[in-house]
Structure 1
Amino acid sequence: MRTFRARRLITQVLHWTTGVLLYLLLSVDDRIFGVLGWAFVLSGAVLCVLWLCLGLLNKDPGPALEGVLRTTHPWLSRAMYVLLAWAVVALAAGALERPLPGPEARTVLLVLGAAALFHAIFHLWRHTALRDGALRRIIPAKFHKYL
């Protein structure tokens, strides 16, 4: 149980760190990379490695989600991780002046940013409309009293 709590806390911290860094990166000139970009690459890479080694933390979407949303929920989570991994690799490759073929790293970050926005809206909807406590899974327990 203690290992699960540690993994959950690490996932929560990395989730929010990666999200904030993503939007900070999107708000600056794409020629500026530096510490901000490498911090995103590191936090995103660790989050992806956790997923690859240990699987999804949210294995069960809960009973409030029904039908297509319940079926697609784990696959949408996996798609977010794949998109994050793509953004991490594209950004690191671009910073090392070895860009990947295909869209530029900035474009991949924009797609990830849009997907993350839909991800946030979906979980806000779940938490408020379905009242399934979706936000309690990803927000540290100290902040649950504000939900």
Structure 2
Amino acid sequence: MCWTCGADFLSPEGRNSGPKGHRARAKRGRHTQNLCACTPAIRYRKPSMISDTPLLTRLALHLPSRRTRLKVLHWGILPFFLWFMFADLDALRRMGPGWFQLHSINGLIFVTLALIWTGGHLRRGLASRPGPKLPPSARAIHPILHKALIWGLFLVALTGFGLGLTSAVLLRAGGVLPIAPPLNLPEAHTIVSWIHVYQFYALALIVGVHAAFHIWRHLRLRDNALRIMAPRALHRFL
């Protein structure tokens, strides 16, 4: 039924309205249609998408696309990862409490971004698919590399929780958020600390292989792989 005048699409006046009629447009599966002779062509949206959906769902319709959000997440987490790769806790303590507080705040932001990325992957899977120019072996490697990166970030966050859980004192991320109730397990704390450090080294290896894989695609296969996640301002240099 037309939302404007109430004409039935299956009735003669509804079926024959518009230049080609509703039925012809429905067969083509377009997102635009003449609702009736009384209305111009407008973008089609189901009534439920406009009036019957919750407020949060309607707000989500106006958010940037998933790929845009992943670009922000991808490049937003990188500086924090580099910070933890090269930050020396002993040196930060000698530099003063402000620097150690900054380290703790960076940890809170890093873990938050890692959990957002993991949650998005669990909810919707990988956003990227192997490109048509990839050979079969590279097609098999493609999802493994991306999943290893996502789960590597999650495991780093998990062992960070383990550090708080096995600590003798209550640790607070960013000086505000309690990480976990301290159980005072010194031996377990030593083991978790060792795992946490080498997890970062393993994650750095995954990041390096991930970057090399996409650079190889971009230069060797010329499939513009770097443009997928690079900011638009850099596209003219790629």
TM-score band (shorter)?
Answer: 0.7 to 0.9
Q: How many residues in Structure 1 have an aligned counterpart in Structure 2?
A: 145
Q: 1:8 aligns with which of 56, 67, 81?
A: 67
| 1:31-77 per-position Cα deviation (integer Å, ceiling 9, x unaligned) | 6541111111011111111111111010x211111121112211221
What is the Cα deviation at residue 92 of structure 1? 3.6
Larger Rg: 2
- Counterpart in the other structure of 2:236: 145
Q: What secondary structure does 1:104 align onto?
A: helix
Distance 1:4 1:77, change over 3 A: farther
Indicate if the aligned counterparts of 2:148 and 2:206 stay in contact, CA closer than 8 A: no
1:51 aligns with 2:147: no
**Mapping 1:79-90, distance limit 5 Å:** 79-90=148-159
Q: 2:204 aligns with which of 113, 117, 121?
A: 113
Q: 1:129 aligns with which of 213, 220, 228?
A: 220
Aligned Cα root-mean-square deviation (Å) = 2.4
What is the Cα deviation at residue 101 of structure 1? 6.1
Mapped to 2, the partners of 1:118 and 1:84 lie a distance apart of 15
- Counterpart in the other structure of 2:82: 23
Distance 1:73 1:119, change over 3 A: same
Greater per-residue strand proportion? 2
Mapped to 1, the partners of 2:160 and 2:227 lie a distance apart of 31
Indicate if the aligned counterparts of 1:9 and 1:140 stay in contact, CA closer than 8 A: no
What is the Cα deviation at residue 134 of structure 1? 0.8
Mapped to 2, the partners of 1:37 and 1:110 lie a distance apart of 16
Mapped to 1, the partners of 2:118 and 2:227 lie a distance apart of 21
- Counterpart in the other structure of 2:6: none
Indicate if the aligned counterparts of 1:90 and 1:100 stay in contact, CA closer than 8 A: no
Indicate if the aligned counterparts of 1:12 and 1:140 stay in contact, CA closer than 8 A: yes
Mapped to 2, the partners of 1:130 and 1:106 lie a distance apart of 36
Distance 1:72 1:95, change over 3 A: same
| 1:77-133 per-position Cα deviation (integer Å, ceiling 9, x unaligned) | 112211111112112432553659665212111110111011111111111111111
Mapped to 2, the partners of 1:121 and 1:88 lie a distance apart of 25
TM-score normalized with structure 1 length = 0.85
Distance 1:119 1:9, change over 3 A: same
Mapped to 2, the partners of 1:117 and 1:41 lie a distance apart of 20
Q: What secondary structure does 2:130 align onto?
A: coil
Q: Which runs of 5+ in 2 are unaligned?
A: 1-60, 91-99, 168-181, 183-188
Mapped to 2, the partners of 1:79 and 1:104 lie a distance apart of 17
Percent of matched pairs sharing the same residue:
28
